[in-house]
Structure 1
Amino acid sequence: MSEAATGAYDVVFRARRLIGPNGETSGSVGVRDGRIAAVEPFDAQLDAARTVELAADEVLLPGLVDTHVHVNDPGRTEWEGFDTATRAAAAGGVTTILDMPLNSLPPTIDTGALEVKRTTAREKAHVDVGFWGGAVPGNLAELRGLHEAGVFGFKCFLLHSGVDEFPPLSPAELDEALRELARHDAMMIVHAEDSEAIEHAPTAHGEDYDDFLSSRPRGAENVAIAQVIELARRIGGRVHVLHLSSSDALPMIASARADGVQVTVETCPHYLSFTAEEIPDGATQFKCCPPIREARNRELLWQGLADGTIDCVVSDHSPCTPELKRLDIGDFGVAWGGVSSLQLGLSAVWTQARVRGHGLADVVRWMSRRPAEVAGVRGKGSIAVGQDADFCVFAPDEAFVVDVERLHHRNPVSPYHGRPLAGVVRQTWLRGTQIVGPDAVTTPQGRLLTR
């Protein structure tokens, strides 16, 4: 199970339940210098300066890896910031985040902007933080420099992003950018909604969620995903479909993979938790793009996770101020689109997964191992020798009711408010240091990651 356990360890974790690379087991995990140095049977005698005995109702999980987070810092720190976002991540068992290139000012579309963001994050990160670059019109010459500077890939939009400083790529620009990235084996991650399809859809307005849903039809996703797949097929580049909400696209994604196209896909806790039928009029805290769809669509997304067509589940934490959500008038046409959920993803997914017959090993695969593999985040995502000693101590049978005032996100807005969830994060450890729990270190312990 591991290399020989010799010598003293800084910390040893003893868990009757542990999610390892091969599923649930029991074990003792030895940590030395921030890395996992041994994974041995539960009764192994491992000498350590400190031993952590998990309670009978606790499970040791690898720290989660959330590769889709909008921190918005610098520039829109009233929406969120590295201090609040990474505190929320840690409280939710997330030990690694990758920050999206837009909604901050400047957006991460050149190496100068990347350095500004790194400087901003360096002293505030309570978990490890990596960065995506952006692909926008006019920055083709910047992509190689960003890649060499260590971004994990490049995000683009195929329609208006919501902020003017991060414009979308035209089909010709997408082709050109993907060819450039393929030369460096860099990945393009795509907000896949087709601008023309959206333009021809009804305009979102008012309090009725069905009207908003009609304004972002699943056909817009399907057409855009098909375009991205065919470009990747022709060019040979790596593409990743962000925040999939349309289950219609699953067969074409599976077919493309069978043909050897390098395409991966994620979905988000809100698409797996909520349904369009239950969203009240004017409840703009549920607004996101692409939107939360119908109950049948949700079940097909769960099926896509079960059969492996969907690779991973990440938050797409996209916060804003309460004023921008326009809860005062409940107008879906003018409210900012984005769900705040960074702290709640594990419990939200586990709540839904358990009633569908999935175990914690499935959740760990979707929310830790596969995000790390897809994005190329080394040393993360599993409890195995040589990996970073990032852990979440999780009580899967304890329940709680979400209270937005008790979350660490900067602004108390979330569609999960008042919702009962299963599973409580009791401790979080980053490279062998407790950052959430009774003996937690309160100063920022996060490092900045490069590809």
Structure 2
Amino acid sequence: MKYDLIIKGGNVVFSDQVKKVDIGVRNGKIAAMAESITDPADGEIHAGGQYVLPGMVDAHVHMNEPGRTEWEGFVTGTQALAAGGTTCYIDMPLNVLPATVDRASFRLKREAAKGKNYIDYAFYGGLVPGNLDQLEELVEEGAVAFKCFMATCGSDLPGDFKNVDDHTLYEGMKKLAELGQVLAIHAENAVITDRLGEEMEKQGRTSAEDYTASRPVFTEVDAVKRALYFAKETGCMLHFVHISSAEAVEEIVKARNGGQDVTIESCPHYFTITAAQFAAIGPAAKCSPPLRNEEEQKKLWKKLIEGKIDIVASDHSPCPTDLKQNPANNMFEAWGGISGCQNSVDLLFDEAVLKRGVPPARFARMIAANPAKRFNIPNKGTIAIAKDADFILIDSGQSYIVQKDDLFYKHKHSPYIGRKINCRITKTIVRGNLVYDVNRGFIGEPIGQFITHKKTPHMAN
């Protein structure tokens, strides 16, 4: 048999073990795996000494196109994702204009994405006040899941995303349960966080420490518990995004043990940057929920090591650099979102696998197998026969320092600039196509395909 590509000699990371095998690829799929493949191939990649992992399925990305393409767009955003080891991502319904909350806006985004993605992609639909009657049409268009905010979000601009009230949340959960859809939730108590922030600004307390104090752990836990209760009443499947506290993890695990269908996501920044470091880095590290103190971070690491966190995602939320400036020294006014997707995999592989001994197989499940399973993307997430040939190669013998000029974001700011990472992604392969090489850069034109729940797993551009 002749293959399109053979990856030889790598330490292949499966969902349950690491094994040195060769991988043969034909027609974009994994066609063979063996200790040694000697058949001819159009191309070979020698991965000796490197880990070969399934490409990351990043379940939490904000591309901002259309409407805010000057913040980030599909071309630059997916270049950063590809260089960072992601082979498939799910784009959030907010920060685009108009927000992706009905058939027309979904089609507008899909049209804008054509021919611009270096990796495969899927879209969330949004749950916002007033769009309960549009949820089913979003499923028909191909949304793989839905997203809502319990925290205050959005702007006064027409078509911008809005947070839910409790009635919308409850009724939306009922509808999504009927439709068999997962609801992803940003869980923070909006009333308390808003009022604490207002009071601090009135008092002239506008530092990074004050911003963090305005969004304490209990506001996340309270929102999590309320959402879980609504979901128990309605039967809705939940996915909690960017969980930042061990207490919230435990509440979700308790609900899951009680029979609820719910998963937990966290992000690399909650494990790698503390609140004290946020104060030193500045607005590039501002996000919500905020970064926690060192003690809380250690508790969160414990939950990850115990296997209680299902999914790691980037929550890549970029913006123009001027929105990250802080001339009035008021952290409440700076844009809250971290540009980080280019370092999701290597940074966490360094911190979790190399430094803390998390098994590579568990790491692969968190970044790839679990999100693919949760969001019904069956061809992705694992290295197995007939799956998409999506791989990343990680060299644990290389280290480097993150430099501004090495970032592919449209706006080159990141809280990781200047940080040493003790491994490096050397290649990213999407459906058997080498799209990124650390020495050669990007290979060819964008090849990303749209993924939907519909019968055809991939829909060509």
Normalised to the residue count of structure 1, the TM-score between the two structures is 0.95
Report SS of the residue matched to 1:279.
helix
Report SS of the residue matched to 1:160.
coil
Equivalent residue number for residue 3 of structure 1: none
Q: 1:207·1:281 contact (CA, 8 Å) conserved in 2?
A: no
Asked if residue 192 in structure 1 is aligned to residue 191 in structure 2, the reply is no
Q: Distance in 2 between matches of 1:147 and 1:162?
A: 23
Q: Percent same amino acid at aligned positions?
A: 35
Write the deviation string for residues 35-82 of structure 1: whole angstroms up to 9, x where unpaired.
1111222x24333222222133x1111111101000000111111000
Q: 1:282·1:329 contact (CA, 8 Å) conserved in 2?
A: no
Taking a change above 3 Å as real, the CA distance of residues 304 and 152 of structure 1, as seen in their structure-2 partners, is same
Write the deviation string for residues 185-227 of structure 1: whole angstroms up to 9, x where unpaired.
1011111011122134243556522111111111111110001
Q: 1:282·1:331 contact (CA, 8 Å) conserved in 2?
A: no
The Cα of 1:423 is off from its aligned counterpart by 1.4
Asked if residue 50 in structure 1 is aligned to residue 49 in structure 2, the reply is no
Equivalent residue number for residue 369 of structure 1: 369
Q: 2:278·2:291 contact (CA, 8 Å) conserved in 1?
A: no
Q: Distance in 2 between matches of 1:97 and 1:237?
A: 23
Q: Distance in 2 between matches of 1:20 and 1:241?
A: 26
Equivalent residue number for residue 16 of structure 2: 22
Q: Distance in 1 between matches of 2:247 and 2:278?
A: 21
Letter matched to residue 390 of structure 1: D
More moved, 261-270 vs 228-237: 228-237
Q: Distance in 1 between matches of 2:76 and 2:305?
A: 33
The Cα of 1:247 is off from its aligned counterpart by 1.7
Asked if residue 37 in structure 1 is aligned to residue 36 in structure 2, the reply is no
Q: Distance in 2 between matches of 1:38 and 1:398?
A: 29
Q: 1:402·1:416 contact (CA, 8 Å) conserved in 2?
A: yes
Equivalent residue number for residue 320 of structure 1: 319
Q: Distance in 1 between matches of 2:155 and 2:13?
A: 40
Q: Distance in 1 between matches of 2:168 and 2:33?
A: 48
Matches within 5 A, 1:272-287: 272-281=271-280, 283-287=282-286
Q: 1:222·1:248 contact (CA, 8 Å) conserved in 2?
A: yes
Q: Distance in 1 between matches of 2:347 and 2:332?
A: 27
Matches within 5 A, 1:247-286: 247-281=246-280, 283-286=282-285
Equivalent residue number for residue 227 of structure 2: 228
The Cα of 1:361 is off from its aligned counterpart by 2.2
Taking a change above 3 Å as real, the CA distance of residues 391 and 141 of structure 1, as seen in their structure-2 partners, is same
Q: Distance in 2 between matches of 1:345 and 1:241?
A: 18
The Cα of 1:307 is off from its aligned counterpart by 2.2
Report SS of the residue matched to 2:118.
coil
The Cα of 1:425 is off from its aligned counterpart by 1.0
Write the deviation string for residues 363-421 of structure 1: whole angstroms up to 9, x where unpaired.
21111111111222221111100110011111123111111222001101111111111
Asked if residue 174 in structure 1 is aligned to residue 169 in structure 2, the reply is yes
Q: 1:284·1:331 contact (CA, 8 Å) conserved in 2?
A: no
Aligned-CA RMSD value: 1.5
Q: Distance in 1 between matches of 2:194 and 2:95?
A: 23
Q: Distance in 2 between matches of 1:426 and 1:139?
A: 44
Letter matched to residue 24 of structure 1: V
Equivalent residue number for residue 4 of structure 1: none
Equivalent residue number for residue 445 of structure 2: 443
Q: Distance in 2 between matches of 1:284 and 1:440?
A: 30
Q: 1:285·1:327 contact (CA, 8 Å) conserved in 2?
A: no
More moved, 321-330 vs 220-229: 321-330
Asked if residue 334 in structure 1 is aligned to residue 333 in structure 2, the reply is yes
Equivalent residue number for residue 141 of structure 2: 149
Report SS of the residue matched to 1:201.
helix
Q: Distance in 1 between matches of 2:43 and 2:402?
A: 33
More moved, 91-100 vs 374-383: 374-383
Q: 1:72·1:80 contact (CA, 8 Å) conserved in 2?
A: yes
Q: Distance in 2 between matches of 1:161 and 1:200?
A: 14
Write the deviation string for residues 245-276 of structure 1: whole angstroms up to 9, x where unpaired.
12211221111111101111100000010111
Report SS of the residue matched to 1:65.
strand
